[in-house]
Structure 1
Amino acid sequence: MSEAEWVGAWSEKRAALSPDRIGLVDAATGREYTYAALDRRANRCARLLADHGVARAADDTGGPAGGRVAVVSRNRPEYVDLFFATGKTGGVLAPLSHRLAPPELAALLAAVDPELVVVEEPFAGLVGDATDEGAWDADAPILSLPVEGSGATTWEAYDAALPADDSVFEGPAVDPGDPHLFLHTGGSTGTPKETVVSHEALVWNSVNTITAWGLRDDDVTPMVFPMFHTGGWNVLTLPIFHMGGTVVIDREFDPGQILGIVEERSASVLVAVPAVLRMMTDHDRWADTDLSSLRFVKSGGGPCRESVMEAWWDRGVDLSQGYGLTECGPNNFAMPDDWPREKAHTVGVANVHVDARVVDDDGGELPAGEIGELQLRSPHAADGYWSSPQESAATFGEWVSTGDLARVDDEGYVSIEGRKKNMFVSGGENVYPAEVEDAIADHPAVADAVVIAVPDDQWGQVGKAVVELAADAGSETAADGAANTDPLALDDLRAFLDGRLARFKHPRHLAFVDELPTSGPDKLDRDAVAAEFGE
């Protein structure tokens, strides 16, 4: 057994416990990897990283980070190799989004300051452009991951650089508080921040997920989150690996493909953002796909509309909402056994090793039913933001300040009311866009909606609803009997909302889009909506 502990020992110990069990499936190639094979691959990768200084130095006295490897790639097996290998060497894995613009990527590369960079070939141009920005001096070696079927690479091929020795890698001892992942935030304002996640935090999030969600060693899941996102690792991949289950990855997933994997691989658990879950219900394969293997489905990354949840419930699938963030978890809540459907709008109750509270602007805890900022406390919280002491102090402490508004009911169920920064005041009354969006989405002509604040001479601010229409939305008749040119008129929408929402919450403006913009792992991009439709 190597000296590396915590995450560094996972692949070795899992290989010893269940060497022939399939841990990873690459849907792009059809290849299956046993846990024994994954550990051998990780040993080779660990030697490569150690040769490049991606390791905890032998004389390290517990500094904030070891050597770092940055990765710009879609989901593929090499990502898993690098995760386990950095665990073995005590290095840090820094996944970077391939969806960033060159200046943003250059700023992150400069912040991470990697000893080695691994780039999937389709993004060689992006990394080259980022290098030209000048923010990053690009003195680290770069290795290429070629696209399947093509051996062409811009830099030395990753496989060619790997040592042949796949025997046990004798790595350094790793402390539980040592960093293992740098995961950047969504970056809705300014350059994304790198969140420092320790070995201990990864283990605790895994334990929280396993114990709260009841994961098993025979669970199979399609991993639809990108691995540059906390969802790609912490939502299900690492807890499933911890248990010895199977994770299915691909370069890109479409709704029909996910349905196919659920049926063909007898997937038992699935977590996805609401947009993906909705697209699955709208897909031609939906009605004919056998979903009986699914023990539960979780929605995360934003509010899931009740119509989407009902579509899954009608198929006999236990769908509920989750909540998390890069800075804490992200798996913080779970639904109790036999939870009632009237609690579907909540994210459930706090997990075993998570404390949650709702506070006012002065940090005082609020009683049940009142809206305030959600704060979390757990051993799975991140340590802070890399090289950002002021922002770290504002978010991290005894409690993690989430920036999200929430309320807790008398039974302990937590409802997320939206981002604190998105709340606006109309005529002296607080308006929470998430509540308004949920009500608008109940309209049969609406697929989804985002509500933003716009200036108003009388009320200061009012809501503007930006609506993506349902695929089958046809022209309707206005309340006065005249034909509408749009399938939904503002007066008709407000009439629909009467009795559902107080009138000060009703939108006073309405706009339509073919498709709402998304960012990160298919989350609604509110900033993009505000930039285009704000006034």
Structure 2
Amino acid sequence: TFLIGLTSGTTSVPKAFTRSRQSWRQSFEASIEFFGLAQDDVTLAPGPLAASLNLYALAECLYAGSEFQTLAGFDVGDVHAAITHDGVTRLILVPTMLRLLSERGLTGGVDASGVRTIICAGSKLDARTLEAARRWAPNATIFEYYGASELSFVSGMGLAAGELLDAGGTGIGHPFPGVDVRILDDDGSELPAGEAGNICVRSGMVSNGYLWGDDGQALRSFNGWFTVGDQGYLSAGELHILGRRADMILTSGKNVYPHEVELALASVPGVAAAVAAGIADDLRGQRVVAGVVPSHAGVTATQLRAGLENILPRDKRPHQYFALSELPTTDRGKVSRNILLDWIGSQDPRARLLDR
């Protein structure tokens, strides 16, 4: 064992996972190749090193002999200043940060033409964020990828400057170098293309397991194919992410993944960010609820319902909407559906019911 890390604890208590020196070396080499990290790059990961996304960025830059910068916390003005004055060429961040930087950068005239690479993780890039980022940083290749603490990198894709992409779907690109992906059912049998099941991975980057916190529901193996319970499917070799099994909402006999609802809401005018979850319902078993961080005052439930009418099936649309003063996040900055449900259940003022 070379390093002990903690999972983000988004769906349960954090677990201590272990990884070998060799697995980290393979991760660094795979990401440097995939993202094209050069020694003359200046990387900025604008957040605390307690977050695994930022800590990995630091370690990757040290391995590559490339400059790394960070901030104690995310601040739009500080990031813009670093880009303007420190020659930042590479950004590593989550989509909500990218949207704020892009939209405020466009209105404030912040020049991001020197940014060559933008790497997003943590949640799926939505079409509005991608469009704003493309206008703000026109020379950047924009990457997004899927991975997990226990699996390391799994799949990803990059959008080169000037290249168009149908963003907002569930696709998350093709497997990383040295990674094989299969979709298996709960018995370990391989599923055909297009059929959803457990996203299973075989690579030299996979964790050795847990030192503590193993509840038997996280990292599992099917004859050497490892999964953390994320659900998805393969289509023409591309991996599509539906979400964590534990997050799935069962409403009136239908399976609804919050991820799909959140992507749809992110495309609705007036929505800066969204998070969806399932709440107990005597009639349906669960009902879908959604919290949105408005991009301006006056967003109504009627507007949100109308915005989803042609992009999300009726049985997947939220029954209730809440205006959020901020995204519900864990201490490590990950969006938490459980915290959203706590706010709703306790009538926390950070989640205000939109009744019209």
TM-score with structure 2 setting the length: 0.87
CA 449–394 in structure 1, closer or farther in 2 if over 3 Å, else same:
closer
Aligned residues: 340
Measure, in 1, the Cα distance between the counterparts of 2:284 and 2:159: 45
Contact 1:256-1:283 at 8 Å conserved across structures? no
1:467, CA displacement in angstroms? 1.7
After superposition, what is the alpha-carbon deviation per residue over 1:495-522, rounded to whole angstroms, capped at 9, x for unaligned?
Answer: 3222211111111112222112212543
Identical aligned residues as a percent: 30
Q: 1:224 aligns with which of 36, 46, 52?
A: 46
Structure with the larger RCO, 1 or 2 (CA within 8 Å, 6+ apart) = 2
- Alignment map for 1:428-447 (pairs within 5 Å): 428-447=253-272
Larger relative helix fraction: 1
Contact 1:273-1:522 at 8 Å conserved across structures? no
Measure, in 1, the Cα distance between the counterparts of 2:308 and 2:344: 22
Indicate the SS of the match to 1:206.
helix
Which residue of structure 2 lines up, in the alignment, with residue 124 of structure 1?
none
Point out the more displaced range, 221-230 or 279-288.
279-288
Indicate the SS of the match to 1:519.
coil
Root mean square deviation of aligned Cα: 2.4
Contact 2:249-2:257 at 8 Å conserved across structures? yes
Measure, in 2, the Cα distance between the counterparts of 1:302 and 1:513: 18
Which residue of structure 1 lines up, in the alignment, with residue 149 of structure 2?
326
Which residue of structure 1 lines up, in the alignment, with residue 300 of structure 2?
488
Measure, in 2, the Cα distance between the counterparts of 1:378 and 1:340: 31
Contact 2:276-2:291 at 8 Å conserved across structures? yes
Contact 2:50-2:332 at 8 Å conserved across structures? no
After superposition, what is the alpha-carbon deviation per residue over 1:423-444, rounded to whole angstroms, capped at 9, x for unaligned?
Answer: 1122221111111111112111
1:344, CA displacement in angstroms? 6.0
Structure 1 ranges of 4+ moved more than 6 A: none
Measure, in 1, the Cα distance between the counterparts of 2:310 and 2:10: 34
After superposition, what is the alpha-carbon deviation per residue over 1:142-189, rounded to whole angstroms, capped at 9, x for unaligned?
Answer: xxxxxxxxxxxxxxxxxxxxxxxxxxxxxxxxxxxxx22211112245
CA 189–313 in structure 1, closer or farther in 2 if over 3 Å, else same:
closer
Measure, in 1, the Cα distance between the counterparts of 2:11 and 2:312: 31
Contact 1:424-1:432 at 8 Å conserved across structures? yes
| Counterpart residue type for residue 242 of structure 2 | E
| Counterpart residue type for residue 420 of structure 1 | R
Contact 1:462-1:507 at 8 Å conserved across structures? yes
Which residue of structure 1 lines up, in the alignment, with residue 353 of structure 2?
none
Which residue of structure 1 lines up, in the alignment, with residue 16 of structure 2?
194
Unaligned ranges ≥5, structure 2: 347-356
Point out the more displaced range, 303-312 or 389-398.
389-398
1:396, CA displacement in angstroms? 4.9
After superposition, what is the alpha-carbon deviation per residue over 1:434-479, rounded to whole angstroms, capped at 9, x for unaligned?
Answer: 1111111211121112111123343322211112111x243xxxxx
Indicate the SS of the match to 2:277.
strand
| Counterpart residue type for residue 148 of structure 2 | L
Contact 1:274-1:299 at 8 Å conserved across structures? yes
Which residue of structure 1 lines up, in the alignment, with residue 97 of structure 2?
276
CA 426–366 in structure 1, closer or farther in 2 if over 3 Å, else same:
same
Which residue of structure 2 lines up, in the alignment, with residue 413 of structure 1?
238
Counterpart check, 1:184 vs 2:6: yes
Unaligned ranges ≥5, structure 1: 1-178, 475-486
Contact 1:372-1:406 at 8 Å conserved across structures? yes
1:364, CA displacement in angstroms? 2.0
Measure, in 2, the Cα distance between the counterparts of 1:393 and 1:503: 31
After superposition, what is the alpha-carbon deviation per residue over 1:111-130, rounded to whole angstroms, capped at 9, x for unaligned?
Answer: xxxxxxxxxxxxxxxxxxxx
Measure, in 2, the Cα distance between the counterparts of 1:181 and 1:392: 22
CA 204–520 in structure 1, closer or farther in 2 if over 3 Å, else same:
farther
Larger relative strand fraction: 2
| Counterpart residue type for residue 348 of structure 1 | G
Counterpart check, 1:309 vs 2:127: no
Indicate the SS of the match to 1:233.
helix
Larger Rg: 1
Which residue of structure 2 lines up, in the alignment, with residue 530 of structure 1?
341
Indicate the SS of the match to 1:237.
helix
Which residue of structure 1 lines up, in the alignment, with residue 354 of structure 2?
none
Measure, in 2, the Cα distance between the counterparts of 1:296 and 1:307: 18
Counterpart check, 1:341 vs 2:165: yes
Which residue of structure 1 lines up, in the alignment, with residue 34 of structure 2?
212
After superposition, what is the alpha-carbon deviation per residue over 1:222-274, rounded to whole angstroms, capped at 9, x for unaligned?
Answer: 1234323332332x222222221101133334122112212222222211012
Which residue of structure 2 lines up, in the alignment, with residue 260 of structure 1?
81
Counterpart check, 1:400 vs 2:226: yes
After superposition, what is the alpha-carbon deviation per residue over 1:52-87, rounded to whole angstroms, capped at 9, x for unaligned?
Answer: xxxxxxxxxxxxxxxxxxxxxxxxxxxxxxxxxxxx
